[in-house]
Amino acid sequence: MNTPGNTKIKYIGHSTFLIELESKKKLIIDPWLNDNPSTNETPDSIGDVDFVLITHGHFDHVGDSIEILKKNKSAIAISNFEIGQWLGKKGLENLSPMSHGGSQYFDDFTVTMVNAIHGSGISDTESENLVYGGIASGLVIKLSNNFCIYHAGDTSVFGDMEIISELYKPDLCMIPIGDHFTMGVDEALYATKLLKVNDYIPIHYGTFPVLTGNPQQFKEKVESSCDSKVHILKPGDEYK
């Protein structure tokens, strides 16, 4: 079984993670900080960031991407093409858009964009309507030590999760369980049967009243049905 080695994987809250690689470079995924009731972190407290990864355009995932990217002028934004275009119109330049099925290769990691079943409209104060944000995605991040992370984004369960399992063999999956806007506990449980991942971190629950998924219930159901482990992290906790 692969391990993350000296890579630090910190849960910020909701769907946001901060990953510090062995090289000390930092990746932030779906950086919703300001106005996020599940965290006390801010773009200032997060500090320097080298990569900003975005699964889709909703406010609780695009979040504070623009502010973070403006504070970290050399940071690279990784998103779908449409979100990349939107970020460009906001004056940002270090954009590295991609699309589903494609991969990007960096010194310390590879990121692959995979399917998710969800919307991606961007709430933009400069527009009366939602801005088209392309198609929602999940992200597969393979580290230089071969440890593989699958951030499922916001999604329902779908059969092609089995393909993600077979192609990329993730060691860790951040999986939504909140219900209402994503999978609930039972759907996420079914997803684990397709993914066959060693470790799961439940995300996207409890932040709003409608996100009723219970992480303890998810843990009990998964661990009683297979050898996988569920790590219930509080905001600020690290995956170990």
Which tens digit of pLDDT belongs to each residue from 4-59?
999 999 999 999 999 999 999 999 999 999 999 999 999 999 999 999 999 999 99
In a domain? residue 27: yes
Tokens of 232: 């219930």
pLDDT one-digit tens code per residue, 112-128: 999 999 999 999 999 99
Calculate the average pLDDT of the chain: 97
Please tell me the distance from the alpha carbon of residue 192 to that of residue 224, in angstroms, as a whole number: 12
pTM: 0.98
175, 151 in Cβ contact below 8 A?
no
In a domain? residue 37: yes
Tokens of 181: 């806007």
In a domain? residue 237: no
Q: What mean pLDDT is predicted for residues 68-73?
A: 97
What is the domain extent for residue 189?
A: 8-230
Exposed/middle/buried for 129, CB within 10 Å: 0-12, 13-18, 19+?
Answer: exposed
In a domain? residue 240: no
pLDDT one-digit tens code per residue, 214-237: 999 999 999 999 999 999 999 999
Look at residue 1 and tell me whether its pLDDT is greater than 80: no
In a domain? residue 236: no
Please tell me the distance from the alpha carbon of residue 18 to that of residue 96, in angstroms, as a whole number: 19
Q: Domains in the chain: how many in total?
A: 1
CATH code of residue 25? 3.60.15.10
In a domain? residue 193: yes
In a domain? residue 165: yes
In a domain? residue 238: no
